[in-house]
A = this chain, B = another copy of it.
Amino acid sequence: MEVLSTARAFGGTQGVYRHASVVTGTDMTFAVYVPDHAPGAKLPVLWYLSGLTCTHANVMEKGEYRRACAEHGIVFVAPDTSPRGDDVPDDEAYDFGKGAGFYVDATQEPWARHFRMRSYIEQELPALVAAEFPVDRDRQGITGHSMGGHGALTISLRNPGRFRSTSAFAPIVSPMNCPWGEKALGGYLGEDMSSWRQYDACALIKQGARLPDLLVDQGTADNFLDTQLKTQLLDEACRKADMPAQIRMQEGYDHSYFFISTFMDEHIAWHAERLNK
């Protein structure tokens, strides 16, 4: 692992790192914030998965998470959203290819070699982070925004017990039922929709997957709410499954980091309650 940069921030260290990923077959870059801590201490870790077009840098620059992470003693990890590099296939659209890995393991050509963000986020990066940073793997939380909210929900639902806390900002809740998801899952996984269900939070809940609880914030002025995000599908799935979920509609907020940063403090405090007990 190579250190690209570190900076002192809020009584901790914000770093950016790069490593050669075996899973994606590319170099991968990610950001980690580590609050100051006692020598030898292991801190809880919060994973943040970003949305379409983002890298590790968007939340690092605009997410306003460091103050609350320092206060609660939480390590914050922000991965990239896809493999990168000249050898990696791409698409000219913003919602497919680079910057749009959708947290799946692609099975279709030309994507299958590099677009393996599921295995990267579920397996490879956690092992690297545990080896290189002072984190307690028994105290992990996960969150994300939009496509990354979809990633957080589905990764947590598929790995029961791994995450003590799960939340999301304006998540895509059912990619099988929105244009972004249909395009991405069809492109990466092919036309057989039975393979899509493991990547659809609502379908996973319908099939019996459960979380102990869930916090979701969604802005009412989000341009993608009606066509892509469809928060009500998650609300319905949780109600039918009798799964506890706080799904909060935030009046007037849009899809941007102005929205995310506003509620970041509350999400981190919510994770901290579950990670620090």
A residues sitting closer than 8 Å to B (CB atoms) are: 7-11, 14, 61-62, 64, 66-67, 219, 221, 251-254, 256-259, 261-262, 265
Contacts and interface: CB of A to CB of B under 8 A. Distances in A.
A54 to B, nearest CB: 13
A262 B10 contact: yes
Given A7-B259, A8-B253, 14 more contacts: A7-B254, A8-B252, A8-B259, A9-B259, A9-B261, A9-B262, A10-B262, A11-B262, A14-B258, A61-B61, A64-B64, A64-B261, A66-B261, A67-B265
A261 B64 CA distance: 9
Contact of A258 (B8, B62, B258): B8
B259 A219 contact: no
B219 A8 contact: yes
Nearest to A70: B262
B258 A9 contact: yes
A20 B125 CA distance: 50
8 contacts: A8-B251, A8-B254, A8-B258, A8-B259, A9-B259, A61-B61, A61-B62, A66-B258
Given A67-B265, A265-B67, A256 B62 contact: no
A8 B261 contact: no
